[in-house]
Amino acid sequence: MADCTPHTAPEPAFEQPWHAQVFALTVHLNETGRFTWGQWVERFAATLARHGLSKELNGGEDYFAAWLETLEAILAQEGIAAPQEVEATRNGWEKAYLDTPHGAPVRLAEG
């Protein structure tokens, strides 16, 4: 368990920007009453347990992958963001990144 050696330098709170974003999104939805934190923990723990059956989770990237999967499942179930809509919007963003010249702000095409 090499990760368990104590670190002296301060670590960033989040390793990747999207970890911070999906974290903030979930906290915000909790605070605006979409779900209680107890409900979130129950769903998230179930996802982690399922993922942990096939491999040992390292607490980093795969932790937030489980986090995102849980949030997507809740939003799909609540009828807030259907999987097809998420997929289409995701592809829209991908296209926007590929079509935007480097250095210019990336914007999603409307529609």
Partner 1 sequence: MPHDHSDHPHALLPPDPALRVKALETILTRKGLIDPAALDEIIDTYQNKIGPQNGARVVARAWSDPAFKAVLLADADPVLAELGYYGRQGEHMVVVENTPEQHNMVVCTLCSCYPWPLLGIPPGWYKSDAYRARAVREPRAVLLDFGVILPEGTRVRVWDSTAEVRYLVLPMRPEGSEGLSEDQLAELVTRDSMVGTGLPKSPPEAP
Least distance from partner 1 to the Cβ atom of residue 23, Å: 7
Report if residue 90 touches partner 1, rule: CB under 8 A: yes
Give the Cα separation of 81 and 87 in Å (integer): 10
Give the nearer residue to partner 1 in terms of CB position, either 45 or 77.
45
Report if residue 50 touches partner 1, rule: CB under 8 A: no
Q: What string of DSSP letters covers 72-89? A: HHHHHHTTSS-HHHHHHH
**CB neighbours of 57 closer than 8 A, spacing ≥ 6?**
48, 51, 63, 66
Give the Cα separation of 22 and 13 in Å (integer): 13
Report if residue 64 touches partner 1, rule: CB under 8 A: yes
Q: If we measure between CA atoms, which residue out of 25, 9, 17 comes closest to residue 68?
A: 25
Least distance from partner 1 to the Cβ atom of residue 43, Å: 10
Chain residues in the site for partner 1 (CB under 8 A)? 1, 3-7, 10-18, 20-25, 27-29, 31-32, 34, 37-38, 40-42, 44-45, 48, 52, 56-60, 63-65, 68, 71-72, 75, 80-81, 85-87, 89-90, 92-94, 97-104, 106, 108
